[in-house]
Amino acid sequence: MSLSPVQERVKYREGALVLGDGAVFEGDLLIHEDFDFRDSATGEVVFNTSLSGYQEIITDPSYAGQIVTFTYPHIGNYGINLEDSESSGPKCKGVIARDISTFYSNWRANQGLVSFLSAHGVSMLTNVDTRALTKHIRSYGALPGAIGTSSVSELKAMALRDNGTLGKDLVASVTTSEKYSLGSGQKRIVAIDFGVKQTILGQLGEFFTVTVVPATTSSAEILSMEPDGIFLSNGPGDPSAVSYGIETIRQLLGKAPIFGICLGHQLLAEAIGAGTFKMEFGHHGGNHPVQRLSDQVVEITSQNHNYAVSVESLSKAQGKVEITHLNLNDGVVEGMRITDAGAFSVQYHPEAGPGPHDSRYLFSQFFDLVNGRAS
């Protein structure tokens, strides 16, 4: 626990980020003194506009396969604590910021950001013109990139070999290997772990007894548990690459109430015959306005996704599908309901609560659906 500023022992080395299109962004590789500089890191480069919450972002399994650029210029100043991680450790491939602080001070902190990332093998690039990098991504889309000290041509080749997230099953790298349970509610649900955040499980556990199962669990095994409801979690990457999850959801539809978040929303859409597409640079941040169409209320939401459900494809989907939420920035489908299958989903993250609690009602809505008090 740190009540006064603590300075981390770090070392620097000149380096750069090179994108697949050849764009170069110079900076300094940063690592804790207890560790050695490692080989280059590659991944799809995205930007996040949140002003705080870097620990939650870095440990969100939905960032698997990606290098996260923080548009806020200064991160690391309040360190890392034991309570706020969304998984067992960092899940992104790298972190880029204008300034990664080597001092931290917070009454909850027990570790610095640099030592945390260094211990988990996550590359850091600081002293980068992140404004220029963000503008580049906004203009040309999320691109594969490589961080390192090699030549520009070598880093570009590494970036191109990585090829981003399209067509990759990244869920396999973050799902649980064994089922486990939490919560103590009378109603029992099964949560399919496509890369679930701990905050989501905590909020589900306030309502239900939750059994978390690996993403590859079959529909027959799930139904053998006789769940009162089924939850489809968030997760990383391209939904079309998670074919086993899509087929499982297809077989579960109509057998129990279903609630999906983020990747779970996209997989549910694929399961009913709708389609998804890769966005130019995605939604990553805590300030996205989403309109609830039933009463026109606007929710301020947290989001993290590079893929979205196609509006046009929903008209061809099986079942009675109703769009429930839309993004006011770009019209992306943010929520839907399958009225004849007792299923609904949202693209954003209601557990994160930047509003702060604009979207918390969705967990109560699922509870009511499981208890037969909602359609």
Is position 295 within any domain?
yes
Is 124 found in the same domain as 64?
yes
Query: What would the mean pLDDT of 210-220 be, rounded to a whole number?
Result: 98
Q: For residue 71, give the CATH number of its domain.
A: 3.50.30.20
* Helical ranges in the chain per DSSP H: 54-58, 113-119, 130-140, 152-162, 198-205, 219-224, 243-252, 263-271, 311-314, 361-370
The pLDDT of residue 178 is above 60: yes
Is position 284 within any domain?
yes
Catalytic residue, chosen from 32, 44, 262, 284, is 262
Supply the DSSP string of 314-350, one letter for each residue: HTTSSS-EEEEEEETTT--EEEEEETTTTEEEESSBT
Tell which of 106, 140, 162 closes a domain: 162
Q: How many domains does the chain have?
A: 2
The pLDDT of residue 54 is above 80: yes
Q: Is residue 357 very low, low, confident or very high in pLDDT (cuts 50, 70, 90)?
A: confident
Domain of 71 in residue numbering reads as 9-162
Residue 266, helix vs strand vs coil:
helix
In the prediction, which pLDDT does 374 show? 62
Is 23 found in the same domain as 140?
yes
**Could you tell me the CA-to-CA distances from 340 to 258, 259, 262 in Å, in that order?**
12, 14, 21
Closest CA to 336 of 251, 248, 273, 247: 273
Q: Is residue 375 very low, low, confident or very high in pLDDT (cuts 50, 70, 90)?
A: low
Amino acid code (one letter) for 116: F
Query: What would the mean pLDDT of 28-36 be, rounded to a whole number?
Result: 96
Q: Are strands 66-70 and 229-232 parallel, antiparallel or unpaired?
A: unpaired
Query: What would the mean pLDDT of 353-364 be, rounded to a whole number?
Result: 90
Is 273 found in the same domain as 233?
yes
Q: Is the Cβ–Cβ distance between 68 and 94 less than 8 Å?
A: yes
Q: What is the per-residue pLDDT across 102-124, written as a single tens digit (0 to 9) for each?
A: 999 999 999 999 999 999 999 99
The pLDDT of residue 2 is above 60: no
Tell which of 118, 136, 162 closes a domain: 162
Query: What would the mean pLDDT of 16-24 be, rounded to a whole number?
Result: 98
The pLDDT of residue 224 is above 90: yes
Q: Is residue 1 very low, low, confident or very high in pLDDT (cuts 50, 70, 90)?
A: low
Question: 270: which DSSP letter?
Answer: H
Is 346 found in the same domain as 250?
yes
Q: Average per-residue pLDDT in the chain?
A: 95
Q: Is the Cβ–Cβ distance between 308 and 279 less than 8 Å?
A: yes
Q: Is the Cβ–Cβ distance between 169 and 191 less than 8 Å?
A: no
pTM: 0.95
Query: What would the mean pLDDT of 154-180 be, rounded to a whole number?
Result: 95
Is position 322 within any domain?
yes
Q: Is residue 353 very low, low, confident or very high in pLDDT (cuts 50, 70, 90)?
A: confident
Is 260 found in the same domain as 201?
yes
Is 329 found in the same domain as 213?
yes
Instruction: Give the integer Cα–Cα distance in Å for 233 and 22.
Output: 35
Q: What is the per-residue pLDDT across 185-210, written as a single tens digit (0 to 9) for each?
A: 999 999 999 999 999 999 999 999 99
Is 75 found in the same domain as 178?
no
For the chain, report the end-to-end CA distance as a whole number of angstroms: 47
Q: What is the per-residue pLDDT across 283-330, written as a single tens digit (0 to 9) for each?
A: 999 999 999 999 999 999 999 999 999 999 998 888 899 999 999 999
Q: What is the per-residue pLDDT across 234-243, written as a single tens digit (0 to 9) for each?
A: 999 999 999 9
Residue 351 designated active-site: yes
Tell which of 111, 133, 162 closes a domain: 162
In the prediction, which pLDDT does 354 show? 85
Q: Is the Cβ–Cβ distance between 205 and 351 less than 8 Å?
A: no
Q: Residue 205 class from Cβ within 10 Å (0-12 exposed, 13-18 middle, 19+ buried)?
A: middle
Q: What is the per-residue pLDDT across 234-272, written as a single tens digit (0 to 9) for each?
A: 999 999 999 999 999 999 999 999 999 999 999 999 999
Q: Is residue 169 very low, low, confident or very high in pLDDT (cuts 50, 70, 90)?
A: very high
Is position 1 within any domain?
no
Q: What is the per-residue pLDDT across 326-343, written as a single tens digit (0 to 9) for each?
A: 999 999 999 999 999 999
Instruction: Give the integer Cα–Cα distance in Å for 337 and 273.
Output: 14
